[in-house]
Amino acid sequence: MGQLLERLVRAEAVGFLAIPVSGDTREDITVDEHATGAQYRFVLPGPTISPQESTACLEAISEILSPSDYLVASGSLPPGVSASFYTEVARMAAAKDSKFVLDSSGPGLKAALGSGVHMIKPSLREFIELVEAPLADEAAYIAAARGIIASGGTELVALTLGEKGALLIGADFALSAAAPGVTPVSTVGAGDSFLGALVFSLAHGKAPRESLRQAVAAGTAALLSPGTDLCHAAEVERLARGVEVREL
């Protein structure tokens, strides 16, 4: 962890983590209605990114990549950025022997498959959109994921199922973890917390079973934090003890 922080600080010092763009940064606003418990999200449009700005981002990523690193790309591509952007990132990561994890959807995700992606993390809705087929149950989820893996699209599929938990699927294994029952305070950041814990565990040499357990616990813990606050370590540890992981 210390080496990672050192590299991030060094990268920031030379300007690799802050890529200036001409437009305003996109704003997301979350509003909680206390009377009903409803939560509303306002996702405002972001700036159009120029080809030069997009190239600057790719160059920055290339500079900080090292062998055995995990590189996570999360979110949709902003206006002006080609659907091939994540494809280029995947190729760069593969060339540096880094593990590229992609948490996105739509054309950007589809275009990147087969270009060196190590793991994708779609929601069920995003996954159905990706495979362009109805998926009725766990068997269908696994078959679709294995199809992508067999074709060289990715090595791992982490499929999040909301309150039903998540699956982690590889070429020779399929794991399911049920989410602990909690009363959500906020749903903001649950997917990000899931993926952060999953990558953190895998990067520290944990087996897929334990990594999935930690990921589901982290995603669930994020539901207990108000507003845009993310998960807390103590809650993750507590919830992880109650996460059951099954082999499918």
With beta carbons less than 8 A apart as the criterion, state whether 136 and 148 touch: no
Helices 124-131 and 138-150: crossing angle, nearest 10°?
A: 50
CA-wise closest residue to 219 among 203, 230, 209: 230
Out of 32, 137, 192, 229, the active site residue is 192
Residue the block writes with tokens 């897929």: 208
Q: How far apart are CA 168 and CA 234, in angstroms?
A: 24
Strands 117-120 and 156-160, by their bridges, are parallel
Q: Which residues pair with 62 in a beta bridge?
A: none
Closest CA to 72 of 215, 192, 161, 169: 192
Contacts of 140 (CB under 8 A, 6+ apart): 134
What is the rounded distance in angstroms from the CA atom of residue 192 to the CA atom of residue 123? 12
Q: Has 192 been annotated as catalytic?
A: yes
Which residues participate in catalysis according to the annotation? 192
